[in-house]
Structure 1
Amino acid sequence: MVEEQKQRLEEALAKLMNDVDQTYLRKMQGDMYRCAAKCCDDYSMPVEKAHACIETCSQPIQHAQSYVQGEMNHLQDRLQRCVMQCNDEIKDKMGPNPNDSEAQRYTQMFEKCATKCVDTHLDLIPKLMSRMKQVLAKQKQS
Structure 2
Amino acid sequence: MFGTISEEMEVQVSATEAWQLYGTLRLARLSEEELSDVIHKIDIVEGDGGAGTILKITFPPGTPVFSYYKEKFTKIDDENRVKEAEVIEGAYLEIGFTLYRVRFEIIEKSENSCITKSTIEYEIKEEAAANASLVSIQPLVNLMEASANYLLKNRK
- Tell me whether the two structures share a fold, i.e. TM-score over 0.5: no
Larger Rg: 1 or 2? Answer: 1
**Normalization by structure 1: what TM-score?**
0.37
TM-score (norm 2): 0.35
